[in-house]
């Protein structure tokens, strides 16, 4: 899997949120995006996810252009900003419902994804009763559920304690080890230094190594 971003800029409501971005990202690597709040990290992740289209330039996935040949990457897991699920269902039920859309994985993989992020698949609490940390863990479980080829994580350690962060770090490395292209955006430089093999700095929409 390869993501190629060529001369991509994005203007939203008159503000240029991404400026002439050029990146080549390949599978089996963890990439870090660091930068202050509002620098454009999340927008860059949205661009890679196909949620926004570049105003100029293009995004290619294994040679196929996002927005023309593909609406979204065919194998994508993502956690952007605050995770959101159906509040009246348990974590497991939420994951099973998501899994049913593509039918690539079933209930056993959903249970495993919960265990991987430190949640109990037998927990009968509904999502609305989850703590912030549990919601974050469920968001990561949803992102890794289908063993995606591209994994985009925005501030994955938000609301997690030290043990939770360590667990998620380990989980992300395992995703890399099976060949996934992982992009992690965080304002926590130390976290990215530990985790990422390549780190890019995003400043006012510009991306530099």
Partner 1 sequence: MNLLKLFSHDLRCGLRRKRYLLMTPIFALACVPFFGIAMETPGITWMDWVFHLFAGAVPPVVDHLPLGFLAIMGGALLVNLDYLLNDLTASGQQVLIRCGSRREWFLSKCLWNLVSCGVYFAGVLLVATVFCLVTGGEAALTNTPAALNWKFPFTPVRPLSAGQCLLIGIILPYLTMAALSAVQMTLCLFCKPVLAFLGCSGALLVSLYFNAGWIPGSGAILIRTSLFGGAVEPGTAILVDLALLLGSVVAGTIRFRKQNILSAEE
Size of the site for partner 1 (CB under 8 A): 30
Residues 136-155 interacting with partner 1 (rule: CB under 8 A): 142, 146
Three-state secondary structure call for residue 176: helix
Of residues 98 and 107, the one with the C-beta less far from partner 1: 98
How near is the Cβ of 24 to partner 1 at its closest, in Å?
Answer: 22
> Angle formed by the axes of helices 132-144 and 162-177, to 10°?
0
How far, in whole angstroms, is CA 3 from its chain's centroid? 14
- Interface pattern 90-119 for partner 1 (x via CB under 8 A): ----x--xx-xxx-----------------
- Longest pairwise C-alpha distance within the chain: 48
How near is the Cβ of 46 to partner 1 at its closest, in Å?
Answer: 7
Residues 61-90 interacting with partner 1 (rule: CB under 8 A): 67, 70-74, 76, 78, 80-81, 84-86, 88
46 lies in the site for partner 1, by CB under 8 A: yes
Residue 14 — left, alpha, or beta (φ > 0 → left; ψ -120 to 50 → alpha)?
A: left
Q: Give the CB-side neighbour count of residue 108, counting CA atoms within 13 A.
A: 0
How near is the Cβ of 37 to partner 1 at its closest, in Å?
Answer: 11
- DSSP for 66-105, written as a single string: BTTTBSS-SSEEEE-SS----TTSBHHHHHHHHHHHH-SS
Residues that bind partner 1 (CB under 8 A): 12, 42, 46, 49-53, 67, 70-74, 76, 78, 80-81, 84-86, 88, 94, 97-98, 100-102, 142, 146
């Amino acid at each position: 899997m390869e993501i190629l971003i060529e001369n991509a800029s994005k203007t939203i409501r008159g503000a240029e949120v991404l400026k002439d971005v050029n990146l080549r990202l390949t599978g089996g690597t963890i990439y870090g995006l660091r930068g202050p709040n509002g620098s454009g990290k999340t927008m860059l992740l949205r661009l890679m996810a196909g949620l926004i289209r570049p105003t100029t330039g293009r995004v290619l996935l294994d040679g196929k252009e996002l927005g023309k040949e593909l609406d979204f990457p065919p194998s994508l897991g993502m956690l952007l900003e605050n995770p959101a699920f159906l509040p009246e269902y348990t974590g497991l039920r939420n994951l099973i419902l998501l899994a049913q859309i593509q039918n690539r994985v079933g209930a056993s993989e959903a249970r495993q994804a919960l265990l991987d992020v430190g949640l109990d698949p037998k927990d009968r609490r509904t999502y609305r009763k989850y703590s912030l940390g549990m919601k974050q863990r469920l968001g990561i479980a949803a992102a890794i559920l289908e063993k995606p080829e591209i994994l985009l994580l925005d501030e994955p350690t938000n609301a997690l304690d030290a043990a939770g962060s360590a667990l998620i770090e380990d989980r992300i490395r395992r995703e890399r080890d099976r060949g996934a292209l992982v992009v992690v955006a965080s304002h926590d430089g130390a976290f990215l230094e530990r985790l990422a093999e390549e780190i890019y700095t995003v400043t006012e929409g510009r991306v530099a190594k």
